[in-house]
Each structure stands twice: as C-alpha cells, then as structure tokens.
Amino acid sequence: MASMREPEQGGSLEPAGRDDALRLTKQLRAAIDDARRAAMVLAQRVRDAHRARVWVALGYSGWGEYAQVELGISRAQAYRLIDIAQSAGALDRAIGAAGVLADVSPAGDTNAAGLVDMGLSQRALREVHGRLDELTAVVTERLTAAAQAGQLEWTAVRAIVGQAVDELRREPLPAAGDTAEDYDRGLERALTDAEQHPADTNAVRRLVDEMAAAGGRLGQIALELAPPYWSEQEALDHILTRFAHDIGCDTETILAVRRYALTGDRRALEGTLL
C-alpha cells in the first residue's frame, strides 16, 4: 500500500495511492453521513424544546433569549433548525403515507430522531419549508405510483424525494400581483379596509397577505442584488446595506424579505413587516 509522507517545510504531500484514496473517501462519506444525522437530531430537539416552551419554566423572557443564553445561537438560527426538523418530519410522514417504511432501506437509514435519512442538505430542507403542503402532496403521489408499479427500492425512494425537493426549490416564489402598481393599490386598499374595520378578521387577513406580498417582491429585488449563495453578512457587505439606506429601510428588514424570497415562509417576516 502506498504511504504518504508529511510535507517538508514549503512542500506538499505526495499524492495518495489508489487504496489510500478509496479508504479516505469512504471515511469522509461516513463522516458526512454522521454529521448530517447529528444535525437532524439537533434540529429535532430544538423543535421539541420550542414546542414545550421551555423558556417559560427556565424564567427567560422569550424563545430568543433562551436560544441565545442556553444554546449559544440566535433566534433566527433556532428557527431555521425548527424549519429543518419540520420539513424532514413532513417528508417522513409523506413517505409513510405512501406505504414506504423505514426498513425498506437496506442500511436502516434513520437517525436518532426517528426520521428517515433521505440524504438532503439542511439548506434544501430549509428552502422547501414554506411549501410543505405542496411538496408532501407531490412526494406521496409519486411514491404511491411507484409502489403500485412495484418500484419501491430504497434508491428509487430517495431519488423520487430528492427530485421533488429539487423541483420545488427551482420554482420561483408565487407573485401576488402583476406590476408595482398592483402591489401598491392592493396594499393601500387592504390598509384602508383594516383601519375602517379593525374587528373584521377578513380585512386584517387581507392586510397581512398584502404586506407579505410586498415583502416577497422586495425580497426578490434583494435576491437579484445579492444572490442566494452569498451569506447574509456577504450580502450586507457587498450591497444590501447600501440598498437599505437608499430606499429608507433598515438592514434587518431587507435580510428578512430576502429570507422570505428564498423560503416562501412568512415567519421570516415576523418582527419586521409582520
């Protein structure tokens, strides 16, 4: 078997032999799988803590303070983990609804949270969170059809779920109007109705819908300026801080509408537009 030498100062490692390369690659794949499963367990436990409202018993003012002090993460990061767990759970239920059991997998691909491991990235699970009803309907339909055709091998199940997720991620966020004037008129009407009829839940709901639509449109502009592969800090540093200043908006709101445009999840707008 070929061996690898430590590099001399200023040098580089000699290339690994084939056996070493295969061994290291296998180890890397195993480590990545372990990390993905661990991340899913973390997301599941954060969701459970949020459901149990643990911050109340521990004397914190809210979920954000609890996440910051006890977990060392921001409120937004904690919510992203919850989104991941909810997306994975919804897919797990869709798989079960189609009659596919976890033990279909020859490797028993489940994690400690009891969720089937579909090999999806955290980002993918996050980005489809706002459209779970649509996603689970498609997954259930396709898996049911595959089951009827006798095509329920585990590789086929993973491929079907992965394709459905990829398709949804590529679809643009549905628009709520045709032009800027449509948005402005709709929002103005909704605001007037809500002011005149504050007890009318339908009027309030329409106002929320219009504000979310306005946030989606602004978020699409933010995404055009700062593409999805930029981190939020990179987006701010490159252009969004200047953009926010130019339109008289704060950077927190700009980042929130960008998240909404990425995910379609209205909770991204909480504390800003909503």
Exposed/middle/buried for 108, CB within 10 Å: 0-12, 13-18, 19+?
exposed
Reply yes or no on whether the pLDDT at 116 is more than 70. Answer: no
Least confident of 16-25, 54-63, 107-116, 119-128: 107-116
Q: What pLDDT was estimated at residue 102?
A: 47
Under DSSP, the state recorded for 212 is H
Name which residue leads in pLDDT, 201 or 252: 252
Task: Check if the beta carbon of residue 205 is closer than 8 Å to that of residue 274.
Answer: no
Task: Check if the beta carbon of residue 258 is closer than 8 Å to that of residue 240.
Answer: yes
The domain segmentation of the chain, as residue ranges, is 30-170, 180-269
- The DSSP bridge partners found for residue 116 are 110
- How many whole angstroms separate alpha carbon 213 and alpha carbon 220? 11
Which of 235, 237, 238, 274 shows the shortest CA–CA distance to 258?
235
Q: What pLDDT was estimated at residue 25?
A: 92
- How many whole angstroms separate alpha carbon 227 and alpha carbon 222? 8
| Beta-strand runs (E) in the chain | none
Which sign does the torsion angle of CA 181, 182, 188, 191 carry?
negative
pTM exceeding the 0.75 threshold for the entire prediction: no
Helical segments of 67-111, H only: 75-97
Reply yes or no on whether the pLDDT at 228 is more than 50. Answer: yes
The tens digit of pLDDT for each residue in 236-270 reads 988 898 888 878 888 999 999 898 888 878 788 88
Please name the residues in contact with 134: beta carbons below 8 A apart, sequence gap of 6 or more: 168
Task: Check if the beta carbon of residue 261 is closer than 8 Å to that of residue 223.
Answer: yes
Dihedral of CA atoms 163, 164, 165, 169 in degrees, nearest 10, equals 100
Six-digit token string for 89: 């759970």
Name which residue leads in pLDDT, 57 or 131: 57
Please name the residues in contact with 228: beta carbons below 8 A apart, sequence gap of 6 or more: 262
Reply yes or no on whether the pLDDT at 54 is more than 90. Answer: yes
pLDDT tier at 23 (50, 70, 90 boundaries)?
Answer: very high
Q: Write out the H or E segment, with its range, that includes residue 100.
A: none
Q: What pLDDT was estimated at residue 69?
A: 93
